[in-house]
Structure formats: C-alpha cells, structure tokens
Amino acid sequence: MKPIDLNNLFPKRKIDFEDDELFDIAVIGGGVVGCAIFREFCLNGAKTVLIEKENDILEGASKGNSALLHTGFDAPTGTLEQKCVQRGYEEFMKIKDKLNLPFFNSSALVVAWNDEQLAKFDGILKKGFDNGVKELEQIDEKELFKREPNLNTHAKGAILVKGESVIEAWSTPLAYMKEGVLNGGKLAFSCKVEEGEFLDEYWLLKTPRINIKAKIVINVAGLYGDEVENIKEKDSFKIIPRKGQFIVYDKSAYDLISAIILPVPTKRTKGVVVTRTAFGNVLVGPTAEDQESKTDSSTVEETLKMLKNKAEEMVPKLKYCDITATFAGLRPASDETYYRVKIDKEKRWITVGGIRSTGLTASLGLAKHIYEELSETYEKKEPVKIEGEIVPNISEFASRDFEKEGYEKIVCHCELVTDREIKNALKGTCGAGTLGGLKRRTRAAMGRCQGFNCLANVAELCEKESEI
C-alpha cells in the first residue's frame, strides 16, 4: 500500500453560493450551539449560512465533553443558563426520536464521601427544587449500595437525580446541521472570519475564501468568540480557555456502574464525573484548568494519574480495567461566571459567548431564545419532512451497521465499523471534512488500538470515496 498523507485526505469543501448573495442570518461557529442556532433559523424560514474556520463542525470546544444531558438541577437559579439548559432538555426530548439521536436515561447520583459533603445536601436539594426539578431524592447508604454495589463503601449517601442522561455528543450537532441544510441552509467551511464591516443594511464578513453578506450576524465562535467580537466592539469580553482532561476505561468497565456518579459541586466546577458513555466505555473527568492557549489540548501524565486514582477510589474495581484512551477538551469560559449573551439590534449583531460545559444541553434552548428575541420576522414554512435516519446510529443504545447485511468488510475491529459506514460518512454536503470529523461520524480508529490497526485502511477508503 502506498503511503497516504493524512493531512491532504480532505481538501477544502466547495462553497455553493456566490459572494453577492445576501443572507438573513450568518452564524459564525460550527460547535454544537452554532449548529443548533443554524437549525432553528433554517426551520423558521430564514436564509441562513453557517460559517466555520475549520473544514468540519466540532473541531473546537464541542468535540471534547462529557456527553451528558442535564436537568439543570444545579444550574445557577434564575439565570439565562438555567432557562436554556432546561428548555434545551425539553426540546431534545421532543426531537430525539425524529432525528435518531442516541439517548439513555441512566439517572445520576450526587455522592457524598464525607460528612462535610453530606451537610451540603439540603442546599443542593433546595436549589434543585427552586429550579423546578422535582425528581430529586436523598437516599441513604443502604439504598445507594443497592443501586451501585461497586462504589467504595466510604460513601455516606447520595442525591438521586432521575432525569440526568447519557447522550452522544457528536451525532447530535451533526443532526442539527443536516436538518438545517435540508431546510435551505448553506455551509461555508474553511472560512475564518478575519474582518467585517457594517454597511447599515447588512454586514460584510471577509474570509480568505469568500466575502459573505448577512443582515444579522450571530457570533458563536466558542474559544475564539472574543476575537470575532472584536470585529464589532474591541475588548468587550475575554475568553479564558479551561482545559478538561479525561480518561476512558475499556468496555469491560461498563457494567461496574449504572448511574452517572457526580461529586458534590464547588462554585467553580461540577468536579470529576464517572459515567458510562454511548460507546460502551466508562469516562472519568473533567479537570478544570484555566490557561492562555486556545489550542493546547495536551494531556499531563500527573493529572491523568490523579483522575485514575480518584476514579478507582470511588469505584475500586476500575483498577482491574484497562485505560484505552485519554484526551482533553477546552471549554470557552469567560471573565464572567455567566453566559455572555448580548443582542445589539441597532448593529444587528448577537453575541453568544462563554457557553461552558452546559452548552450541549443548552444549545437548543439558546437557539430558541435567540430566535425569539429578534424582532425581525421571516416567512414561515413547513419544515422538510425527514425520510429515514438523518444520522446513523453509532452508539451502543441501538443496533449498529455491522449487525445489518450488505457491507463488504469490518474496517475498524475495535469499534466494529464497516466500510459502508465510512463510505456513507464521506458523502454529501454534510460529509466528513477532516479525519477527526470522520472518526466522530463512525467511531473508526477510536477504540483500544487508537487506529494502529485500521487507520491505513480508513485512509485508503477516504482517498477512494471522498466526494470533497
């Protein structure tokens, strides 16, 4: 087999509109919140374009998170974050079956490991009830160990949160983007917005590939939100990247826990979580480390050891399970605690910044909030009816492609990914535009061997099949 340059497998995507085309809405940023806002405006009849500086969605903060759907029981009471988290939860539940989005209602347990943490339970319960979350219940040690027999016997008790759930963090925004495109939305990848000018009636956004005109700009650029914001207003806020490191235990660990195991939170972070994943593993993390770099997602051996020790202290049998992957994600925290959402109707610019770890759950709620806050109206239309699966299932919550007839071979044996899945993931306007994007659409090269055995075959398929 000839050597394949992985960096050149995915040339820049085509742009299927002209630079004199005027859009109603330009959404800058292809993370989960940007994809949700893009979808919302497309469904409501707005002529919308999604602009992303990379060659695929989820190349920034959204690609590395805990993949949990939150009830908002511990969200800051009375804030926009609380409102959007809970509305986002409700919206997700309405559309998950239509869009074929993986979902597992595992419930969560906020576990107290000492008397000091146990003493905080009254406050946690009160906050949850104040936030309108009724399915909260304090349970004693006996009930806790009945539910979770593999927990360390040092646990003092827990709060059961019945609505907390595990979802799949990559198919979800992919489905939002696809539904937006089905309803007339346009995509502009590899288009970093470098300059912009407000010309009274519209914004002219300048990228290296094309200039884009839009009546309204929505800045959802995540880690680079403050830099994009400088186009409109200098130094209005600062993004402070917050690194979260994770470890992933092998599939043999999956049955050691049932619920999401949450710590008693602090003011700064929800702390280290132990949870099952949609892919049959156990995930531990994240940490919360502020840094200056917006690109450094490296892991630190000492920190990973700390996570391993903490996980195995909580669930001792994890020490007999292999760790098959480690990674770090960067969350776009800001110089304020709360979401940085600002609507400037005069300048026709909406800022959606500082959306931290709750962004996956809050995304649909934020999209509804932004759409409703704009006074402009668009010609309503009936959304395009979805025929078949808008995204294929890659989770363990439903049947996988390898269980169906018609594929030629298994390409990735660790994650049981077929050649048909890879070929399909490369097709069409919303097909994979990066190797990471292909992995997130199929699970290829993300198992025990991390691509050691399959990546050459994956790359060869990409070279043959890519339509980009």
Residue 48: give the domain boundaries. 13-104+166-237+336-393
Together in a domain, 278 and 248: yes
Beta strands 48-51 and 22-28, pairing class: parallel
**Per-residue CA distances from 88 to 29, 75, 342 (Å):** 19, 13, 19
Tell me if 6 is assigned to some domain. no
Please state the rounded mean pLDDT for residues 266-282. 86
Using CB atoms within 10 Å of the CB of residue 118, give its burial: 0 to 12 exposed, 13 to 18 middle, 19+ buried: middle
Q: How many CB atoms lie within 10 A of CB 328?
A: 20
Give the chain's end-to-end CA distance (angstroms, integer): 22
| CATH assignment of the domain containing 346 | 3.50.50.60
- Residues whose CB is less than 8 angstroms from the CB of residue 342 and which lie 6 or more positions away in sequence, other chains included: 350, 351
Please state the rounded mean pLDDT for residues 420-433. 94
Together in a domain, 94 and 184: yes
60, 57, 25, 54: which is closest to 208 by C-alpha? 54
Q: Which residue has the tokens 């009816």?
A: 385
Phi and psi for 342 in degrees, rounded to 5? -140, 130
Together in a domain, 221 and 173: yes
Together in a domain, 286 and 417: no
Q: Give the pLDDT confidence score for residue 38 in this predicted structure.
A: 98
Together in a domain, 158 and 270: yes
Rounded to whole angstroms, the Cα distance separating 46 from 23 reads 8
Both tokens of 386, joined, read 């979805």
Beta strands 136-139 and 165-167, pairing class: unpaired
- Whether residue 299 contacts residue 326, with contact meaning beta carbons closer than 8 Å, is answered with yes
Tell me if 2 is assigned to some domain. no
- Name the DSSP letter for residue 385: P
Q: Is the pLDDT of residue 1 over 60?
A: no
Q: What radius of gyration do the chain's Cα atoms show?
A: 22
Beta strands 211-219 and 203-206, pairing class: antiparallel
Q: Is the pLDDT of residue 31 over 60?
A: yes
Q: What is the pLDDT of residues 442-466, one digit of tens each?
A: 999 999 898 889 999 898 888 888 6
Q: How confident is the model at residue 394 (pLDDT cuts 50, 70, 90)?
A: very high
Tell me if 351 is assigned to some domain. yes
- Whether residue 296 contacts residue 243, with contact meaning beta carbons closer than 8 Å, is answered with yes
Q: Give the pLDDT confidence score for residue 467 in this predicted structure.
A: 59
Together in a domain, 118 and 36: no
Rounded to whole angstroms, the Cα distance separating 46 from 174 reads 20
Q: Is the pLDDT of residue 270 over 80?
A: no
Is 0.85 topped by the overall pTM?
yes
Q: Is the pLDDT of residue 266 over 80?
A: no
Tell me if 8 is assigned to some domain. no
Q: Give the pLDDT confidence score for residue 130 in this predicted structure.
A: 97
| Torsion sign, CA atoms 352, 358, 363, 369 | negative
Rounded to whole angstroms, the Cα distance separating 109 from 132 reads 18
Give the domain-ending residue among 307, 334, 361: 334
Give the domain-ending residue among 311, 334, 357: 334
Give the domain-ending residue among 372, 393, 414: 393
Q: How confident is the model at residue 382 (pLDDT cuts 50, 70, 90)?
A: confident
Q: How confident is the model at residue 98 (pLDDT cuts 50, 70, 90)?
A: very high
Together in a domain, 184 and 86: yes
Q: Which residue has the tokens 């619920």?
A: 259
Together in a domain, 258 and 319: yes
- Residues whose CB is less than 8 angstroms from the CB of residue 122 and which lie 6 or more positions away in sequence, other chains included: none
Rounded to whole angstroms, the Cα distance separating 338 from 335 reads 9
- Name the DSSP letter for residue 69: E
Q: Give the pLDDT confidence score for residue 267 in this predicted structure.
A: 66
- Whether residue 133 contacts residue 71, with contact meaning beta carbons closer than 8 Å, is answered with yes
Q: Is the pLDDT of residue 353 over 60?
A: yes
Half-sphere exposure of 99 (CA within 13 A, CB side): 25
Question: DSSP string spanning 431-465?
Answer: S--SHHHHHHHH-TT-STTTTTTTHHHHHHHHHHH
Q: Is the pLDDT of residue 50 over 80?
A: yes
Q: Is the pLDDT of residue 468 over 60?
A: no
* Average pLDDT value for the chain: 93
Rounded to whole angstroms, the Cα distance separating 245 from 357 reads 13
Together in a domain, 187 and 231: yes
Q: 109: which strand partners?
A: 160, 261
| CATH assignment of the domain containing 434 | 1.10.10
Please state the rounded mean pLDDT for residues 159-178. 97
Q: What would you measure as the largest C-alpha separation in the chain, in angstroms?
A: 67
Tell me if 435 is assigned to some domain. yes
Together in a domain, 37 and 131: no
Together in a domain, 263 and 326: yes
Q: Give the pLDDT confidence score for residue 463 in this predicted structure.
A: 83
How many structural domains comprise the chain? 3
Tell me if 44 is assigned to some domain. yes
Instruction: Please write down the HEC assignment for all residues of 192-250.
Output: CCCEEEECCCCEEEECCCCEEEEEEEEECCHHHHHHHHCCCCCCCCCEEEEEEEEEEEC
Rounded to whole angstroms, the Cα distance separating 185 from 178 reads 9
Both tokens of 120, joined, read 């905080």
Together in a domain, 176 and 312: no
Q: How many CB atoms lie within 10 A of CB 115?
A: 8
415, 425, 328: which is closest to 63 by C-alpha? 328
**Per-residue CA distances from 11 to 53, 55, 185, 434, 437 (Å):** 14, 8, 22, 9, 13
| CATH assignment of the domain containing 285 | 3.30.9.10
Tell me if 4 is assigned to some domain. no
Tell me if 451 is assigned to some domain. yes
